[in-house]
Structure 1
C-alpha cells in the first residue's frame, strides 16, 4: 500500500458514490484512504431522500487530527454543500497542506437530480477552492454552472476548459459523458495545452458514483507519485472496467464494481496459507 489520500466529501448510504465509493476506489488502486465527512445522506440508486450536514468546525477537526497523525500525500474533495464548508476546507488545506496535490470534484447535483451544492456556494467554490486545485474534474453540467455557458459539443468543452484554467485551476479534466454520441471524450487541459481522451460509450444504467470514483482514482495516483496524465489514464481505465463489471444492484443508477482490480484466485490462494 502506497500513498495517503485524505477524502473530504459526503457519505452515500447506498454505498455507490461519495465517501464510500472514494474509499473503495483508493483502496482498489493500492493507496490508503482517510476521510473527513462533510454530510450524511439518505440515498440509494433512485435518488437522495435527505441530507444531514456536518458542522464546518467538526469537518476541520476531522481533517486536523488526520493530518497531524497520519500525514497526507493528496487530497480529494467531493460534496461541500455550502459556502461555510468550502471556506473551512480551503483554509485547512492552505494552512496545513501547502503544496499537496488537491483533486477538486465540484459535486453539485446527484444522479437523481437532488442538488448537493447550494447555488449561493458556487462563487465560494470558484474563489476559494479552485485556485488550490491541482486538477478539477467537472462534468458538462457542472462546468456549465461554473462558467455560465452552455456546452453542446467538444469545441465548447475546449473553450470552457480554457476558461476554467483562467479561473486559477492548474489543470481541468472536463468529462464529456453527458454529451450525445457513440464515443465519450474527456479533455485534460493544462498550461501546456489540451489533450483529448476518447473511449466507446458503455450503454449501461450502472453509472452511480462514476465522478467520485474517477476523482479519487486520480488522487490515488497523485499520492503515489504518478504524473497527472498518468493518473488520469489509469483512473479512466479503472472506471471503465468498474462500469463494465457492475454487479447490477438497485432499480436506478446502479453502483460500479469497485473491486474490479481484485483477483479472486489470488485472494483465495492467500486465504489458504
Structure 2
C-alpha cells in the first residue's frame, strides 16, 4: 500500500541547515500525490565568506551529507533530491558522478542533483550553448559551475557572483537585486541565464524574466525539482514557474 499523502512519490530532500528557501520552493512545485521530506545537513553559518572560507564550508557540508541521507531514508522515500548546488558542480562531471555514487551506496536510491538537473534543463530548451551564470556565492563557485558546464558542451559567456557575506545572508537577497543582476548578465551573446544557489529566491522572478528577456532563465530549484519529477515518471505540467515546468 502506498503512502496516503505521497501516493505517487515520496521524495527525501537533503538541504543545508542554513537554507530557508529550497523547502518552500519545492513544496510550491509539488503536484498532487507527491510529498517532500527534508533532512537537514548540519551547516555552521559563516560570516565574512571568502573564496577560501567558501571552499572550507563546502567541504564541511559535503562531509555531513551522508548523515542527512541516512536520516531521511528512514521515512522510506522513493527518490532522493540534493537541495544544495555547490557540492554537485565542483570538480566537474566526474565529481558529480562520484557524489551520486556515494549517495546511492549509502541509501540504495537514485538521487537528483542540481548540476545534472541544470544541464538537462538547458538541453531541454534546445540550441542553448552560450550561458550566463548568476550565483549568490564567491568567484570560486562560479568557476566550478563554468567548468562543469564546459564539460557538458556549454560556454559560460559571463558570470556574476553576489558574494553574500554568510550562508543565511543568501536568503536576504531581494528580488530587485536579482532583477538588476539578470539585466547585467543579459545580452545578445547569451542564449540562456542560469541561476545557481538553492537558498537564493529566484523561482518566480526567473519565470517572469523569461517574459521580459525573451530567453530561458533557469532557477536551480525549478530545474532540480523538474528533473526529479521527470526522472520518476511524473509528467505533470506545473504552471506559473517558467517554461521548463510548463512545457517539458
TM range (shorter): 0.3 to 0.5
Q: Which has the higher helix share?
A: 2
TM-score, with length taken from structure 1: 0.42
TM-score, with length taken from structure 2: 0.45
Max radius of gyration: which structure?
Answer: 1
